Amino acid sequence: MEQELIEAMAALDEDKVLQYTQDLLDSGATSVQIQSYLNAGLQKVGKLFENGDYFLADLIVSGIIYRAAMGLFCSSMRRAGSKSLGRIIIGVVENDIHDIGKDIVCDVLISEGFEVIDLGIDVGSRDFVEAVRKHKPDVLALSGVMNFALQSMSDTIKALDKEGLRDTVAIVVGGSSVNNQKAEALGADAVADDPADTAAFCKTVVERKRHEE
Ligand code: B12
């Protein structure tokens, strides 16, 4: 059924994507597994777009279908009531509007018990700086998918440095624009492509801070 889900996502067949996602959930597949199949389908959509077989409208539809499928299991991840583990600010960096990955990271962090302040998409360095100054988060999470997102991430980290705020917050970067090497060059504290890794990093930061207090 995995391959069928990948192909249905690539073919932008919403009914089938929802049906296979539900079938996989019923048969005990984890949300992480299902996400990996949906992502593989999106990789194919990206390739079809690159080759000129798909157009912008198809990318838009792929995003809508992906979110609909995620809706089948993400809502159950939300956790209410318990005390916040720590505060995270997250946003998609300037000029980039791809927010599906960022939203998955948000859902996982919230389900793990963090307070998440989501600044949304196309967030400029000045807005990140103001948000860090105002909310004093434990972690700032920067998301970027486009190649040029690296420049926006770099601008944001430099702006925090200039304002004397860089050392007040741990920075994790993610999204398909970054890897370990690029994150190091940016001056980020960590890179993660897996939302669970992000949550683990945030927990380490918060525990270390509590220890030092
Ligand atoms: C859906 C989609 C769109 C949708 C986005 C809808 C939305 N609301 O997000 C729309 C239609 C808006 C869109 C627009 C464009 N897109 Co587009 N899009 C895609 C597509 C098909 C899927 C992206 C996606 O959502 N992937 C799934 C998510 C779950 O993956 P993810 O973002 O990487 O997130 C995961 C991890 O990276 C990580 N993560 C993400 N964020 C963070 C943050 C932190 C802190 C951490 C720790 C982890 C983390 O966790 C997530 C879960 O595992 C990709 C193709 C592809 N295969 O990636 C092209 C793609 C990204 N798009 C592309 C392009 C070119 C464009 C446009 C320029 C098209 C155009 N001509 O206008 C515009 C750009 C608009 C802009 N300025 O941003 C190119 C990018 C090329 C590049 N690398 O620079 C791609 C690769 C397609 C291609 N092969 O050509 N797109």
Tens-digit pLDDT profile for residues 179-199: 888 888 999 999 987 888 899
Residue predicted with more confidence, 125 or 176: 125
Which residue's alpha carbon is nearest to atom 88 within ligand 1? Answer: 46
Give the Cβ contact number of residue 4 at 10 Å.
Answer: 16
* Residue ranges lining ligand 1, Cβ < 6 Å: 39, 42-43, 45-46, 49-50, 56, 59-60, 62-63, 95-102, 104-105, 141-143, 145-147, 172-176, 192-193, 195, 198
pTM tops 0.85: yes
Long-range CB contacts for residues 23-27, cutoff 8 Å, separation at least 24: 25/72, 25/73, 27/1
What are the E-state strand segments in 128-169?
139-143
Across the range 106-125, mean pLDDT stands at: 92
What is the distance between the alpha carbons of residues 193 and 177, in angstroms, rounded to a whole number?
Answer: 10
Which of 35, 47, 98, when mutated, tests ligand 1's pocket best, judged by the most ligand atoms within 8 Å of its CB? 98
Pick from 17, 53, 59, 65 the residue to mutate for probing ligand 1's pocket: most ligand atoms within 8 Å of its CB. 59
pLDDT in tens, 28-39: 988 888 989 999
d(CA 130, CA 107): 24
The angle subtended at Cα 101 by Cα 27 and Cα 87, nearest 5°, is 105
